[in-house]
Every structure is written in structure tokens, then in C-alpha cells.
Chains A and B, each alone.
Chain A
Amino acid sequence: MTTTIYVPIDSAATSIGANAVALAIADEATKRNVEIKLVRNGSRGLLWLEPLVEVETVTGRFGYGPVTAADVAALFDEDFLTGADNGFSVGIVDEIPWLADQQRVTFARVGVIDPLDINDYEAHGGLTGLRTAIALDPSKVVEEVLASGLRGRGGAGFPAGIKWRTVLEADSDQKYVCCNADEGDSGTFADRMLMEGDPFTLIEGMAIAGIAGGATKGLIYIRSEYPDAIATMKAALLIARGCGLLGDDVLGSGKAFDITVRVGAGSYVCGEETAMLESLEGKRGMVRAKPPVPALHGLFGQPTIVNNVLTLATVPMILAQGAAAYQALGAERSRGTQVFQLAGNIARGGIVERAFGVSLKELVENYGGGTRSGRPVRSVQVGGPLGAYFSASGLEVAMDYEALIAAGGMLGHGGIVVFDDSVDMAQQARFAMEFCAKESCGKCTPCRVGSVRGVEVIDKVISDIDRTANLDLLNDLCDLMTDGSLCAMGGLTPMPVLSALRQFPEDFQK
């Protein structure tokens, strides 16, 4: 009998030895003359258990982790092929409470299937959404997306259906779908994991967007820092073309749609949608003034649907299961689920997909298990480098778009970075300005010059040079950057700075 064994090929897993584990398992199986089928799946998102080896048994997929290559012989000795309970076992993976409590919609297949096996994809519900969309009038597809309440997962939270409707109603010979996979926020890795673990979902979502909006060309802009995601997406596109999922006649619909991958060159601001469009046109990644909006005047001046990876990858599920099912999840105006990413100094980091409204405290404490260092949590940054810092006593906030804004923060792309009590919040505030100075596109003065001045002023505050006057100046500068910047880069950099200043004033008074 052949036993199926899963070892993740996700780059987080391989960054701590999953490739060596996979090799050791193959070698050991040959040595012991046992027949195995080794599947390199995506990661289940329980990153603290990586490398997590799973074995298919009659009762489900049994997990062992973390495993190193040196442990592999012992795993065989201790009968992991039959799902034996041993020193490495974590039980049936689907039943681990951390995972069982989640509401996986966008990430339903990530870690479960072989990322590049289209049959496995289809067996797990893939292509149902696209087939549904093909059978509908494009305006009905747009209505479904609108009714689902799906909002942009890149950070801005704009209703996806409204963008799609605008593109559908625009008159043009050539329209585009551009997927923003320039996931530059520190603390976020969901786009990467989805592209590495379930690339066909993104392709299917983009094809649905193409059919709904009347676009025939799609582009995925992936940051160069993600070599594995680039390789997986390119391989998946070849397979998709080969089986008629992309091409002149998408799944026999008579409609054409194809996708190409384009790679970034190390510029954070290219994650801003108009800077991304400039970069896709081969130019400097300079932010455009809006209006006109990209839905009307996007790539090469044509109507363009621009959405984040997670937004597009959620669409197939919405079409397959109906807008109502997705809309039923969530809180207030934040409908559906959010893929939260637990990162930084955290004991149990990884992917937690839950309906909007779960509290930050639950994510950090119950799922995250506090810090990896074992020291007390002091600060949590939500929403990437432009997001606010929360203090350990301020974690009761509900994680939805509006509740976070009301609490002085923002959801961003759903990244949560935990710091222990060794953090110096004045240094974190300084870093926010320094990062903005390095990554500003330079188009508007408040961002380009303000960030440089911000670093200087914070340095003076830290060194106790005319501290009171410089703190006033810093607040003034932050107001100016917030109100006067063209995009979120300069406009939101004050958020981490001011939140640190407000909640951790003692760090600025040393």
C-alpha cells in the first residue's frame, strides 16, 4: 500500500528546513523499501509547527511537527506511516483547535492540496466559481460580488463590486485586470502563501473578474522578494493555459482571458495601486493623483480592475457558494472573513482566517499564545508599517475596518506584529519615518521631505534637545503629512509615530 505524505514547499517552511525533511523522507523510504507518495503541499498556516509533516490515514491527515531532517529516521522507527502517536505527533491536523476554530474561506485549500495539481484543485471545489460565472450575465456576476460585501483586502477596503461595475460599464476596446501581489507590509505573508499554496484560486478569481468586467488581459505584479511565489505562479499559468482555463476560449465560454506575471524591483510604494500601474507600464513607480480612478483610467489609460491577491482569490468561493453565504459572516460593514497574519515576536505565528469582528486580544493571546521570547507583550502593530501600535492593555478592539479606524488604527492587509517588553517605541517611531524617507516615491513634498524632517525631529526628541518644542513640531509635521500627502505612504506614516507617542510617552523621555 502506498502511503501519502505531505511536506510543505511553502517558503516559510523551507526557510527552516522543509526541503531537507522531504529529501530525508524520500531517502529513508527507499532505504526501508516502503512505497510512499510524497506531496509538496502549501503550508497549513500553523507556522510554529513547521516543518509540519502530514500522513494520510483512514481517520484523516495526521500531523508531526516541528520535524527536522535528523528526526526522520526516528519518525519511521516510531511508525508515523500508520499515524502512530509519538513524540512528534500533533494529532489529526484538521482537529487541532487552533485550526479547527478558524473559518477558512479564502485559505480553504491552502496547505490541503498539491498547489500545481489542477485535478486536486478541481476535486476540492476548484473551478466551480468560474463555471458559475460563465453561465451568468456579466452584470449578474458583478451583482454577486457586490452583494457579498467583499471589500479590498489590500488595505483600502473599497467595495470590490463597485470597481467591477465601473469597469463593466466603461466603454473600451481593451480592459485589464491587474492583481496587486506587491505585498510589502511587514507582518504580512498571506498573498505569498496563497500564491505558493493555491495559485489556481487566484487565476480563477482573475478569470472571473475578466469575464465580469469585459477584460481579456490580466497581469499579476509580484514583488521580487518572493522568488518562490513567482515560480509557482508562472508554473500554474502554464498549466492553466494547457487545460483551457486560460486562453482564447476560457473553459469553453467563448471568452478570452490570459494572464502574465510581472516582477517588481524593490519598491514598497509600488504596492499603492496607481504606482503599481506606473510600474506595470515600465516607468518609475510614482503615485498618480486620483481622480481619474484606475477603474476608468488604469493601465495604459484603459479601464482596469485593480484588486489585491486575497480579494481576487476570494471571488471563486463567493460565486461557488453564493454571495449570501459570504455576506452572512462578519461584523457591521466588514463582511466575510479576513486572513489575519500573526507575526513578529509571537509564540504561535501563522495564518488565522476568521470572520471580521474577532478581537485583537483573542488573536494575539489565544491563537498567538503571547510572545516567542516568553516575555510580556508590550506592543502590537496592526496593518503593516503604516499601521498603529497598540499597547498590551488596548487589545480589546474588534478587528474590522471601521472599529479599527475608530480605535485610531487601520486594518491594512491584516498583518499583526507583536513586540515584547524589550522594544524601544521611540526607535519604532523613528523607523516609521526612516522607512517612509527610503521608500517615498518623491512625488509630493509632505511625504518626501516630511519623512526626512521626521527622522531629524525624533532624533532631537530622543536626545533631549529642546524636547517640548520638538514634540510640538513633530505633532505639527504629522498633521501636515496626514493632510497633505498624495497617497497612504506619507498620509499614514504619522499613524505608527503618533500612536507610539500617545501610548508610550515614557520611551521618548529617557
Chain B
Amino acid sequence: MTLVVTPWSPAAGEDLLDLLPADERLILPALQAVQQGFGYVPKEAVALIAVALNVSVADVHGVLTYYHELRTTAPAPITLAICVAEACQATGSRELVAHVGANLAPVGGRSDDGQVDVVEVFCLGNCALGPAALINERLVGRLTTKALESALADARAAL
């Protein structure tokens, strides 16, 4: 599936924060809402959230930088999250990561065509059918280099 995101503007950010339900007027849900809406958390959003929730900018910054998934730059259209935890190591994730590093992008990097971000993740709950990866929100299992390339081709075709 393709992620639908709106271009960032402070006004759009304020509108989005106004929509937060009363019990989610908290820093992490606010950051998640911004990321879901705009694809990432722009710098200006930090101050907006601080004002909207009546907390300090430092507190918002602290939460933003704590969680691995929150990002401050726009992502590529496709995120390939490869599981590198033990169960997938036992079925060849180290080799898969090496292959992706040599042919697409290293972990933490972006492919040359700008279409795919490669990230590592610790466990996707598919531990009996490893190696596993999450391509946007699609879980794929028993990956070989060939199966991974075909799953990525599907994701590119769906863009």
C-alpha cells in the first residue's frame, strides 16, 4: 500500500492537532499523528505541539528523539524494514542484509533512485517463517534474495 501524505504547512499541522481526541492530547500520540499525516515530523511541528499541549519544546524534542520510528525528514515512498533479530538471524537475515547493502542500500540508507529506504527492525512476529521483512505495511516471510526482489518490484509497481 502507498502511504498517503499531505504536504506540510503550519496551518495544516494546527488543523491536525486540533483533531486529536481528548485522551490522545499527549506528546507521543501528537507526534505520531503528525508523522502519519505528513510522512515525517517537520522541525516546526515540535513548537506547534508544545504550544498545543502546553508542554515545553524540550519535552517534545525528547520524545521525538527517543523513539526509533519517529523521523524528522521525509521518507522514501517505500520503506523496507528487514528483521535482524535472533530468529531471523538463524535463517539467514545477516546474508540478506549484506545482499541488500551491496545491491540496494545499506541499513539506514536510501536506494540510488530515491525510492526505497532500508531500515533494520528487531522482530516482526514472523519468527517461524524467517527471514522476514515489512515493505511499507506488507509482511513478507521466508525471504530469499530473489523473493525479496520480487516483493520490492511489487511495491514499486504499486506506487
Q: Spell out A's residues near B (CB within 8 Å).
A: 11-12, 14-16, 47-48, 50, 183-189, 191-193, 224-229, 260, 262-268, 279, 281-285, 341-346, 349-350, 372, 381, 385, 415, 417-420, 423, 428, 431, 435, 438-439
Contacts and interface: CB of A to CB of B under 8 A. Distances in A.
Tell me which of B27, B32, B90, B124 has the highest count of chain A C-beta atoms within 10 A of its own C-beta. B90
Contact of A268 (B23, B32, B88, B122): B122
A188 B127 contact: yes
Given A11-B139, A225-B124, 6 more contacts: A227-B137, A263-B32, A266-B67, A341-B127, A342-B128, A417-B127
Given A262-B29, A372-B91, A431-B89, A186 B139 contact: no
A343 B128 contact: yes
Contacts, number: 151
B128 A16 contact: no
Contact-residue size bin, chain B (C-beta under 8 Å from the other chain):
35 or more
Interface string B1-37: 0000000000000000000000110111111100000
A105 to B, nearest CB: 21
A279 B30 CA distance: 12
Contacts of A435: 85, 122
B123 interface: yes
A265 B128 contact: no
A16 B123 contact: no
A345 B32 contact: no
Contact of B23 (A192, A260, A342): A260
B99 to A, nearest CB: 17
Contact of A431 (B28, B81, B86, B140): B86
The 9 A-B residue pairs with the shortest CB-CB distance in the complex, in nearest-first order:
A282-B26, A349-B128, A186-B85, A343-B127, A15-B141, A265-B67, A344-B90, A266-B69, A266-B68
Contact of A341 (B124, B128, B137): B128
Contact of B125 (A226, A284, A350, A418): A226
Interface in B50-91: 59, 62-63, 66-70, 81, 83, 85-91
Contact of A344 (B31, B66, B130, B134): B130
Contacts of A381: 86
A381 B86 CA distance: 9
B126 interface: yes
B129 A12 contact: yes
Interface in B86-138: 86-91, 121-130, 132, 134, 137
Contacts of A191: 125
16 contacts: A12-B126, A12-B141, A15-B132, A15-B140, A16-B141, A226-B125, A262-B29, A265-B70, A266-B67, A266-B69, A283-B27, A341-B128, A344-B87, A345-B90, A349-B127, A349-B129
A343 B87 contact: yes
B125 A385 contact: no
A343 B70 CA distance: 29
Contacts of B88: 186
B85 to A, nearest CB: 3
Contacts of A228: 139
B156 to A, nearest CB: 18
A189 B125 contact: yes
